[in-house]
C-alpha cells in the first residue's frame, strides 16, 4: 500500500483490506500516536461533506500531522476557472498526500495520474467511495465477528450510491449473499452486478423491503440522493420509497445491525436510533480509526 493511491476498492486485495482493518483495530485501542510528526496532508473537497472530511482531519490530528485544503470549490481557484490538473499539480508542491472528493466520476483516477503524491479518493461522483467501504467493512466485522458468509441487504439508491458500489465489490471477496432493494429506476448498475456474477455469488432484487428484514445480518440503508438526479421530477417520484421504522425490526435477527453511510434524510425514522440494532453513528466513529490506518499505511508508517 505504501505510496499507492486508493481510488477504487478494487485497488486493494482481500489481504490488504484485512491488513487495514487490523491496523484500524490497533488505532481504536490507541488513537493518539505521533506518527506523522509534522507531515502535511491536503484535504480537497470539491463537494460537501461532514463525516469524511472531518474524520480524515480528526485522524490526521490524532496522528500528529497538519491539514491544509478547502471544504468547497467556491473557496479555491477553481472558482476562477483553474483546471483540476493545475490544482493537483500545485497542491502536490505543498503536501505529502492528497485526500480528494469531487462530483465527477473518474476525477480521482485522473488526479492520481497527474499527481506526484498519493491520492485517496474520498468519493468521486456516483462512482466509488473506497474509504467509506473500509469503514463499513470494519463495522460489519466488529458487529458480526466476521466478514464471511453474511446476508447483506442494500436499500435505496443503488444506482447512484457510490458507497453501495464500493461495498458490494468488496463483499464479493467474502462469500456474501446479496439482497438488493430499490425502486426499478435505481437498481444496482450492471457493471457492479458483474462483480457478483464473476464471484459466483447470489443476489436477489426486490422492490418491497419488509420481506428481506428477517433474513438480513446487515441492513445497509442509503439516502435517495437528490443531487445525482438529472431530472428533479424523477427524484420526486422515488424520494420516499423506503422508510425504516422501529416497528419493522421486530422480526429482525438478533445479530442484525442497521448501517447507513449518512447523511440521512428520512429513510431511517428517528425512533430507530435507540434500537440496539442501530449502528450508524458508531459506524461514523469507526471512520477515524480506519482513516488513521489508511494514512499510516500509505505513508509507510505502519
Ligand atoms: N458518508 C459520507 O460520505 O458522509 P459525508 O458526505 O458527510 O462525508
Percent of the chain with pLDDT over 70: 100
In a domain, 3, yes or no: no
Across the range 228-241, mean pLDDT stands at: 88
In a domain, 181, yes or no: yes
Residue 154: in which H helix or E strand, if any? strand 151-155
182: pLDDT confidence band, cut at 50, 70 and 90?
very high
Same domain membership, residue 43 and residue 141: no
**The three grid cell numbers given for residue 67, joined into one nine-digit string:** 491539514
Instruction: Please tell me whether residue 202 adopts helix, strand or coil conformation.
Output: coil
Same domain membership, residue 253 and residue 173: yes
pLDDT at 225: 87
Across the range 69-77, mean pLDDT stands at: 94
pTM of the model: 0.96
Same domain membership, residue 85 and residue 74: yes
Across the range 4-10, mean pLDDT stands at: 98
Ligand 1 centroid – CA 200 distance (Å): 31
Ligand 1 contact via 264 beta carbon (within 6 Å) = no
Mean pLDDT of the chain: 97
Provide the residue range defining the domain that includes 109.
9-127+287-298
Least confident of 166-175, 236-245, 262-271: 236-245
Q: Do 64 and 40 meet the contact criterion of CB atoms below 8 Å apart?
A: no
Same domain membership, residue 272 and residue 134: yes
Which residue has its alpha carbon closest to ligand 1 atom 1?
261
**Looking at per-residue confidence, does 262 or 225 come out higher?**
262
pLDDT for 290 beyond 90: yes
pLDDT at 227: 87
In a domain, 89, yes or no: yes
CATH for 241:
3.40.50.1370
Backbone angles phi, psi at 159, to 5 degrees: -80, -55
Same domain membership, residue 29 and residue 94: yes
Ligand 1 contact via 261 beta carbon (within 6 Å) = yes
263: preceding bond cis by omega (within 30 degrees): yes
51 is catalytic: yes
Across the range 274-294, mean pLDDT stands at: 98
Same domain membership, residue 274 and residue 138: yes
Q: Which one is catalytic: 53, 62, 102, 129?
A: 129
Same domain membership, residue 150 and residue 19: no
pLDDT for 288 beyond 90: yes
Backbone angles phi, psi at 12, to 5 degrees: -110, 135
pLDDT for 226 beyond 90: no
In a domain, 4, yes or no: no
**The three grid cell numbers given for residue 183, joined into one nine-digit string:** 425502486
Same domain membership, residue 53 and residue 140: no
User: Domain tally for the chain?
Assistant: 2
89: pLDDT confidence band, cut at 50, 70 and 90?
very high
pLDDT for 38 beyond 90: no
Same domain membership, residue 143 and residue 275: yes
Residue 144: in which H helix or E strand, if any? helix 130-144
Amino acid at each position: 500500500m505504501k505510496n499507492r493511491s486508493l481510488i477504487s476498492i478494487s485497488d486493494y486485495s482481500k489481504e490488504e483490506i484485512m491488513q487495514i482493518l487490523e491496523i484500524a483495530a490497533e488505532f481504536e485501542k490507541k488513537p493518539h500516536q505521533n506518527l506523522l510528526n509534522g507531515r502535511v496532508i491536503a484535504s480537497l473537497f470539491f463537494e460537501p461533506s461532514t463525516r469524511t472530511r472531518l474524520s480524515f482531519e480528526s485522524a490526521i490530528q490524532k496522528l500528529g500531522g497538519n491539514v491544509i485544503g478547502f471544504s468547497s470549490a467556491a473557496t479555491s481557484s477553481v472558482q476562477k476557472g483553474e483546471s483540476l490538473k493545475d490544482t493537483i499539480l500545485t497542491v502536490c508542491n505543498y503536501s505529502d498526500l492528497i485526500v480528494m472528493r469531487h462530483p465527477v466520476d473518474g476525477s480521482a483516477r485522473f488526479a492520481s495520474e497527474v499527481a506526484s503524491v498519493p491520492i485517496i479518493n474520498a468519493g468521486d461522483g456516483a462512482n466509488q467511495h473506497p474509504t467509506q467501504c473500509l469503514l463499513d467493512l470494519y463495522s460489519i466485522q466488529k458487529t458480526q465477528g466476521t466478514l464471511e458468509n453474511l446476508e447483506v441487504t442494500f436499500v435505496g439508491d443503488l444506482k447512484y450510491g457510490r458507497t453501495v458500489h464500493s461495498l458490494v465489490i468488496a463483499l464479493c471477496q467474502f462469500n456474501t449473499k446479496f439482497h438488493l432493494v430499490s425502486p426499478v429506476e435505481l437498481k444496482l448498475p450492471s457493471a457492479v452486478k458483474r462483480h457478483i456474477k464473476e464471484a459466483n455469488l447470489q443476489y436477489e432484487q426486490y422492490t418491497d423491503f419488509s420481506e428481506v428484514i428477517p433474513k438480513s445480518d446487515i441492513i445497509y440503508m442509503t439516502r435517495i440522493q437528490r443531487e445525482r438526479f438529472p431530472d428533479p421530477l424523477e427524484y420526486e417520484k422515488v424520494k420516499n420509497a423506503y422508510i425504516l421504522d422501529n416497528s419493522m425490526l421486530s422480526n429482525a435477527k438478533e445479530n442484525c445491525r442497521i448501517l447507513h453511510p449518512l447523511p440521512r434524510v428520512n429513510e431511517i425514522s428517528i425512533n430507530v436510533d435507540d434500537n440496539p440494532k442501530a449502528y450508524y453513528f458508531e459506524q461514523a466513529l469507526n471512520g477515524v480509526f480506519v482513516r488513521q490506518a489508511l494514512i499510516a499505511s500509505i505513508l509507510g508508517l505502519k
